[in-house]
Structure 1
Amino acid sequence: MSLPELPDPIPGEPEVHPDEVTRVPLAIEDWLTVVVMALLALITFANVLVRYFTSQSFAWTEEISVFLMIVLALVAGSAAVARNRHIRIEFFADNGPEARQRALARFGAFMMFLFFAVLAVLSARVVYDDIRFGETSPGIGVPVWWYTMWMPVMSVAIAGRALGLFIRRGRRP
């Protein structure tokens, strides 16, 4: 499958690069970002209105907002890995012979996979401990595992995206 042709860039505008073709659609991260941002905006707006009209605030908004911002960071990390826009030292990654660039890209993708796979295992242990000890959140008293369960889930997603990037970088000639 070939990538769609893009029109010539407009002078002065940044060049647009199409997303690589992936087995798992990148629209998943895009839509999750939209939903999480909309929830954050709604929660914050509701809290502002309540504070303005009643001089009180919703106690639960800070706890939920922090949780949503963490989820947003993990979703954005997954999208960055899938799109190969993750942090790297471009002087080394984008210079030199093509074989070295490919080897460094594969090494970086594999190390991301390894990191997030280990993070998934360790954060799953945290979730297990939260369930086992019955930890509750300080703000609204819900089980803490409701929040912490997303760390291993998103770590597995990012590890999967990194593994996909590793495989795609190995296929290039």
Structure 2
Amino acid sequence: MSSTPPETDGAANSGTRPDEPRSLCIEDWLTVIIMAALALITFANVLVRYFTNSSFAWTEEISVFLMILLALVAGSAAVARNLHIRIEFFADSGSITRRRKLARFGSLMMALLFALIAVLSVRVVYDDFRYEETSPGIGVPQWWYSIWLPIVSALITLRALGLFIRQGKPGAFTDEPVQKDHSKEIA
């Protein structure tokens, strides 16, 4: 019987992983705040609907916005933690050099994709502002919602670039052999 613990993806581990950036508390706290806001809005709507047989008109619009924002913020945390979606058969097979190149290529493509989304979505925000678009449910300016897409996409781009840099460092992969420093063995 082996005494080594089974491998996990880090999701059950409450501590930080060694390759994880320390600044992830931003995404973690945003996730908590957004989830709490969603729960409060939904609970308030349920209470109002139960007692008055009508509901708040604004809750669905705000909830949809918060769910989209939650997906983007959680995506940023997943990228930073290197827990994004990938095909494990290709990502974890082959030599360490091959895996490193594939992982870095994936990180670079992810950074490119979200940088492109950030740049292109600025035009959407500008059009919403320029044409004074309003939201369909409660009539607030639409750019209040759309401004978050380029901001969070830029954050994901930075997280992907950070992951790209970390993946290039020695010891980035758990089964990578660590090179010994032979300069101290002269004695």
**Is the TM value for this pair above 0.5?**
yes
RMSD: 1.7
* Of 118, 121, 125, the match for 2:123: 125
Report matched runs for 1:30-45 at 5 Å: 30-45=28-43
1:138 & 1:115 partners in 2: Cα distance? 29
* Of 117, 132, 135, the match for 1:134: 132
* Aligned position for 1:74: 72
2:157 & 2:121 partners in 1: Cα distance? 13
Equivalent residues of 1:136, 1:143 under 8 A apart: yes
* Aligned position for 2:92: 94
* Aligned position for 1:152: 150
Q: Aligned letter for 2:144?
A: W
CA-CA distance at 1:171 after TM superposition:
1.4
2:30 & 2:141 partners in 1: Cα distance? 23
2:159 & 2:170 partners in 1: Cα distance? 17
Report matched runs for 1:19-38 at 5 Å: 19=17, 20-22=19-21, 25-38=23-36
Q: Aligned letter for 1:115?
A: L
Instruction: Look up the SS of the partner of 1:64 in the other structure.
Output: helix
Instruction: Look up the SS of the partner of 2:23 in the other structure.
Output: coil
CA-CA distance at 1:9 after TM superposition:
4.6
Gaps of at least 5 residues in structure 2 are 172-187
* Aligned position for 1:143: 141
Q: Is 1:54 matched with 2:68?
A: no
1:166 & 1:51 partners in 2: Cα distance? 49
* Of 63, 66, 70, the match for 1:65: 63
Larger Rg: 2
* Aligned position for 2:181: none
Q: Aligned letter for 1:71?
A: L
Q: TM-score, normalised by structure 1?
A: 0.89
Counting matched residue pairs gives: 162
Instruction: Look up the SS of the partner of 1:26 in the other structure.
Output: helix
Q: Aligned letter for 1:113?
A: A
Percentage of pairs with the same residue? 69
Q: TM-score, normalised by structure 2?
A: 0.83
CA-CA distance at 1:15 after TM superposition:
6.5
1:57 & 1:15 partners in 2: Cα distance? 38
* Aligned position for 1:3: none
* Aligned position for 2:162: 164
2:12 & 2:147 partners in 1: Cα distance? 38
Q: CA 1:112–1:152 in 2, change beyond 3 Å: closer, same or farther?
A: same
